[in-house]
Structure 1
């Protein structure tokens, strides 16, 4: 119906701010005050960079920068300003810039109130304390760097100037270049989301490196990171994570958040540099799934063993050579030795290392080759290095596995490593570093594939009793409590359909005995107190009680014990439950991370859960596919599958419980934490035996890092023939139905919609169209429920916002059998309704000139049509939405 829309969207900004003015300026002014230490460095770098645009300087003299007396005296408004000023002079300068029409700035100096100044003036800035900005392709070096970055395909987005200098220094020695170096600094007004949204659209950017300290807008960051990771490898490092949270939960949650976005997390500067070396110079073999089958070839057996250990320790796999490969390699080995992996060629084999590495890279059972070289006496090392360059270049044009080179040593090997690096090879000084590079390549592939994985059709349809939960939470607040009793917490879970162990509250020992007699034996007795989240620590839990008398006696003893150990604890009575049969004990948790907000944890349960160190994390909202992945990452997954005397448990029921817990976080952001421990799991299903829930203070609410599915926008619609369809936002589980709907379109409809004779939708395109960011775009689908309970997609209308200009681009497609039923108009009207609510002022699209039905359709909706100034065969359709 009209051309596919741009898939990576620019970030949201003020009406006056333009991303291109910041990241690709045509003119720049340096405004500096005398005595500012950063000013001469900035002036020198700007003058030496070779920038082809206009460069002015105010307050500092530098050859190559045209002097100006003030911002007001500039002949033309600059695109970008670098403000090297004391705090008191910053706001007047930004006001002067705004008056001239410049709304992009870099603030490399201290400015603790930069966010407020930016809000008052409308000028958005990188900073405070920004390292600056380098765009080598246009000769821009507005940074505090001590070396000029080379042009290349790496992009570095950093908060630390020290880390930026270290990376640039290393890159200069390695011959690696950059498309962008962006100093976020204090992340006051322009942060990671802005930089990533820009980089996502840059064809000259390969891999993106992130130095994360503080994320100002978690949802915008995850959204932008995911958009970037769809087309670029993205690697992230967090310094100080363990210092901020010694328990490591914050680091684990960050890794989960980055995994969700398709970003590779590394643990230190060495790993970051190894990942940069790999991702900038090596490409995975097309079509490989896991990418972790590593082949090792070496001229020294000891190096090969070190590399093999690193593969196993890093979670990779040593590639298993096929019989044909073994036969081919056997002819190359001395003394009739049998080939294996690692493949050691023996002494004097340096010049043949490249040939054998190329042979191994051609094997289908190998995803990456680590070629290791040790110096030898009388060996022409330079010749061996040049042979490796030639072999890797020859393999680059084929469907060969990437070759990562470990060239050990320094006195002679250092020069040869430089030769290899200058030729564009991924080269490392040790076997372990080369293996880390190969594992980074595999992990990046897995992360990006998982972020775009097409989930199955199955959707867990929930019908929680929201009113019951609201009553429980209101009662706790009315009583002046943020902590709920166990009975109340289990009531919240029961309202979400999660099975709970039947229980009764008892005011005292006698009532506890009577309750146990009603529920049956063996019984469990628990103290009820909002002040005791870990009841077992004070003797507040008793198991295996076989009679009512035992329950009464246990209650008396428990009350005395708790009052002695915790006299200040408020006692609300007892909870009596029927003891569950033997089953696996799991722990499900909802918690809060300062950077990424609410998280979900899963692992082994019981009283020793904190000591077992088996907890994996993800972010809500979860669907069944994400819940299955979360379970699969834990060691507990092996117990759930059955182990020795533990029979297999119902993993599907555990995933169901995780999705229900996730939905609690979505529906009730006033909940700060919720723990289910234990959740019993066996072949029959799951049963929650204990739970704790804590509310946030009144008025506070958690903010999810991932936009939840807007289920409230689903509505029925009756088409002209009387059939009632469901119109709702698209979701990832629609992938199969979306592909099937495309298959039912005519060739003409496909050409009109995609501007090309597309034969099928690739999985990547299906993922992009069904896994959308509801904060940025909307797609409404019309569905029909079929006899097998699956849904058929009969139409889709899509609106992607252009945040910079309050403009959004539309697409609409209706199944051939539904044309003439009023469905297309209704889908578009739903888009307009959503767009107005989100601040969209203008809707536009492009329609082929021979698409007469669509031209008539948009005219009827009130669109204005005009010939595209760029393409004669295309019309532009524009509609002003208004209020």
Structure 2
């Protein structure tokens, strides 16, 4: 069947022209200081293509009078020009077919100019672009970056220079340095999409300030993080939002994409040192899933104790060594010394330190080794360093990574430099080495969580959306952006979330009658659109045991509030039957300026804000994601049962979170929705109070992660009369996908995957079932088994190229459904989705001996020809 090879772009702008150009032109105003810097760097970089300059003299660059004087249109232009000359220059470039540019200087209207001319540019204020592998240095760098596997995508020129200066000292090289600058047209998404396909990039560093397109960014970041580590830093986030909430939402968004967030430049450099040089061991089983079992070997117990403290303070684990391992290490120790973790060999250990580190790395109970060395008297430090270099080079993918701390400076500095140039991850302090090991573990955990295969369980929701629409219409018709508590609880009830019964009462006497009808004890709450926190002004009373008590409290409450807040509009009372006390939780739906709607979970009650116990994620949530969200809060430990707290029904809480998430999906006009408290006990949950705020009319929220397109699910009838459901794939289809694979014939597997796979790796299953519905679609044909589970009998897939109106297809049908017309229907569904999403051409690669597929695609109208790159592959194309 068809493969999933990437499609080359067919749009006017080519990403390769920007990120791997064959020719570059510098258009410069000599008086601008950046012009001389860029010209000097271009000339000194050793670029393998052609270099031209217009507007100034620059040794090493071929001068040209104009763009027309250059024989071939340059792939990339660097524009060191005053703002008023940018648009004419970009118009000239567009006329010649040069559509990629770098703008290092000021350009306040760059987005508008780009839209008018069609030029896509890095900038304004771009640091520039470096691709050391081809000798391109079109940047404002003070030092030329060396070739390597690290990519840096940054908005800050100062940070770029700092990282490059550090990298030169540490012998770290780069595949790309991409200066996003003001992020006007070419932003993070396009850069990350390129890096996701670049085989020379092993890890990515991100300097994030402003995300222009939240959905495109998350999609591209996730694509990169599937195959390599991605680390992000955000400068200015806390100062811009001193509450810290914005930083929490960014961390949640990055976690969802599989990106490791670090807090400062020191952590970023530590992550770069680690990820550029080491990789976690392959395999290890369930025990290695966290990747944080650290073994410490040292030539001084003081350093070992500092490292052990840092491991525990950072949330890692000191690896527990087996008796057999301890017995082996005893042979390396002086007489009378006992082995352990940390393992101290004594100051005269010399090369034995490297030997012990290698032995530690081979142990299955160890995820990373931190080897510590302090200068010792009468020790040949250079010999010890050479031994460590040799030992680390012998470790394979089945060994744990070794991170080295070579403490000191006068003698150790030169030895650290030698180890760094040999490719070791080496640090000046034990704490820095441990930080690197824990970052490696966190990266592993983040990427594993982003690709985790959820169980089959799907929460099938059937909300009463018509009721919610009526509630929202009523509020807007009254000129309100806030719903009353009664309306907010009604909205939740429409989504199947249990709520406490209540009645509205206009006056004190009515409140007493309502309480008598609902039962006692009763709760009385003031209704006012001007009182967000009613308890702060005495607007909530509990434990009212009679109608007389309710009436008296209503009169007193009214008097209190009129005295304290005379301007507040009073709309009556809400009377509720008091629920039995339980654990109080708070569920929140909010909105972030950068990443849009978010979900919060944590401790509830009046002191929720003081408790500072709230975990965050982005909608949409499924049950698995909701469970992970709960687990990240401190409240999760109480929910499991703690002293006088009985265990809580966590499945019911996860259910509530998924329902709240679906509200965000269905009604993007809702800006805020808080449930506080949500009572939770062993029997389930009960929403006691809620508050909802609407966005201004015409201002919908945009989710950073596209929701499941349930509207695309439709029944289909086979020739045999059997009715199947054809719907978009979802993460919960992982188990069914694996089952379907096991039913395929070996020949079908070879035709589909271009190799004789025996089983699907979990990472591949995750890639095929956890898709971005904005850039690809997969339709599954399913039948319902007697036990209620679904069986997958056919799959079709269409993957768009983010930078081109082309997409690649794949389709496969299980043996029992062949000849029923299912394959044709699945392809027609792809064409339908493609047309609706701007796809103009569908293509695929088919093995030349796959006669059934070749006949099938020809019957659909595809043109088929032999691939120019692979003799045994045929290329099929169809214009939509």
Q: What TM-score do you get using the length of structure 1 for normalisation?
A: 0.98
For the aligned residue pairs, the C-alpha RMSD in angstroms reads 1.2
Q: Which residue does 2:563 correspond to in 1?
A: 564
SS of match in other structure, 2:197:
coil
Alpha-carbon contact 1:14-1:122 (below 8 Å) kept:
no
Cα offset, 1:333, TM superposition: 2.6
Report matched runs for 1:224-303 at 5 Å: 224-287=220-283, 288-303=288-303
Alpha-carbon contact 1:301-1:344 (below 8 Å) kept:
yes
**Please, which of 44, 50, 58 is the counterpart of residue 46 of structure 2?**
50
Alpha-carbon distance in 2 for matches of 1:685, 1:350: 62
The Cα offsets for residues 98-145 of structure 1, whole Å up to 9 and x where unpaired, read as 000000000000101000000000000000000000000100000000
Cα offset, 1:335, TM superposition: 4.5
Cα offset, 1:815, TM superposition: 1.2
Alpha-carbon distance in 2 for matches of 1:864, 1:76: 32
Cα offset, 1:849, TM superposition: 2.9
Q: Which residue does 2:317 correspond to in 1?
A: 317
Gaps spanning 5+ residues in structure 2: where?
A: none
Report matched runs for 1:115-154 at 5 Å: 115-154=111-150
Alpha-carbon distance in 2 for matches of 1:718, 1:323: 63
Structure 2 residue 364 is the aligned partner of structure 1 residue 364: yes
Alpha-carbon distance in 2 for matches of 1:351, 1:855: 62
SS of match in other structure, 1:43:
helix
Q: Which residue does 2:600 correspond to in 1?
A: 601
Alpha-carbon distance in 2 for matches of 1:847, 1:477: 56
Alpha-carbon contact 2:99-2:119 (below 8 Å) kept:
yes
Alpha-carbon distance in 2 for matches of 1:789, 1:514: 47
Structure 2 residue 741 is the aligned partner of structure 1 residue 742: yes
Alpha-carbon contact 1:291-1:442 (below 8 Å) kept:
yes
Q: Which residue does 2:338 correspond to in 1?
A: 338
Alpha-carbon distance in 2 for matches of 1:28, 1:505: 72
Alpha-carbon contact 2:193-2:802 (below 8 Å) kept:
no
Alpha-carbon distance in 2 for matches of 1:156, 1:391: 30
Alpha-carbon contact 2:503-2:575 (below 8 Å) kept:
yes
Q: Which residue does 2:654 correspond to in 1?
A: 655
SS of match in other structure, 2:232:
strand
Alpha-carbon contact 1:714-1:727 (below 8 Å) kept:
yes
Q: Which residue does 1:708 correspond to in 2?
A: 707
SS of match in other structure, 1:89:
helix
Cα offset, 1:736, TM superposition: 0.6
Q: Which residue does 1:811 correspond to in 2?
A: 810
SS of match in other structure, 1:72:
helix
Report matched runs for 1:836-855 at 5 Å: 836-855=835-854
Report matched runs for 1:644-793 at 5 Å: 644-793=643-792
Q: Which residue does 2:327 correspond to in 1?
A: 327
Question: What is the number of residues matched between the two proteins?
Answer: 876
Cα offset, 1:738, TM superposition: 0.7
Alpha-carbon distance in 1 for matches of 2:224, 2:397: 27
Alpha-carbon distance in 2 for matches of 1:825, 1:108: 51
Cα offset, 1:203, TM superposition: 0.9
Alpha-carbon distance in 2 for matches of 1:633, 1:47: 52
**Please, which of 74, 77, 85 is the counterpart of residue 73 of structure 2?**
77
SS of match in other structure, 1:473:
helix
Alpha-carbon contact 2:122-2:180 (below 8 Å) kept:
yes
Q: Which residue does 1:38 correspond to in 2?
A: 34
Q: Which residue does 2:85 correspond to in 1?
A: 89
SS of match in other structure, 1:663:
helix
* Worse-matched range after superposition: 270-279 or 853-862: 853-862
Alpha-carbon distance in 1 for matches of 2:725, 2:39: 61
Alpha-carbon distance in 2 for matches of 1:588, 1:184: 36
SS of match in other structure, 2:435:
helix
Q: Which residue does 1:387 correspond to in 2?
A: 387
Q: 1:649 to 1:435 in 2, by over 3 A?
A: same
The Cα offsets for residues 457-510 of structure 1, whole Å up to 9 and x where unpaired, read as 000010111110000001001111001110101111111001101111111111
Q: What TM-score do you get using the length of structure 2 for normalisation?
A: 0.98
Alpha-carbon contact 1:108-1:131 (below 8 Å) kept:
yes
Alpha-carbon distance in 1 for matches of 2:871, 2:359: 52
Cα offset, 1:404, TM superposition: 0.4
Structure 2 residue 798 is the aligned partner of structure 1 residue 799: yes
Cα offset, 1:366, TM superposition: 0.8
SS of match in other structure, 2:673:
strand
Alpha-carbon distance in 2 for matches of 1:379, 1:337: 20
Alpha-carbon distance in 1 for matches of 2:438, 2:218: 24
Cα offset, 1:673, TM superposition: 0.5
Report matched runs for 1:174-253 at 5 Å: 174-253=170-249
Alpha-carbon distance in 2 for matches of 1:356, 1:57: 57
SS of match in other structure, 1:399:
coil
The Cα offsets for residues 646-674 of structure 1, whole Å up to 9 and x where unpaired, read as 11110000000000000100110100010
Cα offset, 1:808, TM superposition: 1.2
SS of match in other structure, 2:833:
helix
Alpha-carbon contact 2:590-2:598 (below 8 Å) kept:
yes
The Cα offsets for residues 583-609 of structure 1, whole Å up to 9 and x where unpaired, read as 110000011111111100000000000
SS of match in other structure, 1:630:
helix
Q: Which residue does 1:2 correspond to in 2?
A: 2
Alpha-carbon distance in 1 for matches of 2:113, 2:634: 50
Gaps spanning 5+ residues in structure 1: where?
A: none
SS of match in other structure, 1:876:
strand
Alpha-carbon distance in 2 for matches of 1:343, 1:817: 60
Cα offset, 1:343, TM superposition: 1.4
Alpha-carbon distance in 1 for matches of 2:336, 2:378: 25
Alpha-carbon contact 1:483-1:531 (below 8 Å) kept:
no
Q: 1:605 to 1:142 in 2, by over 3 A?
A: same
Report matched runs for 1:495-506 at 5 Å: 495-506=494-505
SS of match in other structure, 1:336:
coil
Alpha-carbon contact 2:464-2:494 (below 8 Å) kept:
yes
The Cα offsets for residues 662-721 of structure 1, whole Å up to 9 and x where unpaired, read as 010011010001000000000000000000000000110111110111001111111111
Alpha-carbon distance in 1 for matches of 2:666, 2:819: 38
Cα offset, 1:74, TM superposition: 2.1
Q: Which residue does 2:587 correspond to in 1?
A: 588
Cα offset, 1:268, TM superposition: 0.2
Alpha-carbon distance in 2 for matches of 1:566, 1:173: 64
Alpha-carbon distance in 1 for matches of 2:425, 2:810: 43
Alpha-carbon contact 1:4-1:753 (below 8 Å) kept:
no
Cα offset, 1:398, TM superposition: 5.5
Q: Which residue does 2:167 correspond to in 1?
A: 171
Alpha-carbon contact 2:589-2:672 (below 8 Å) kept:
yes
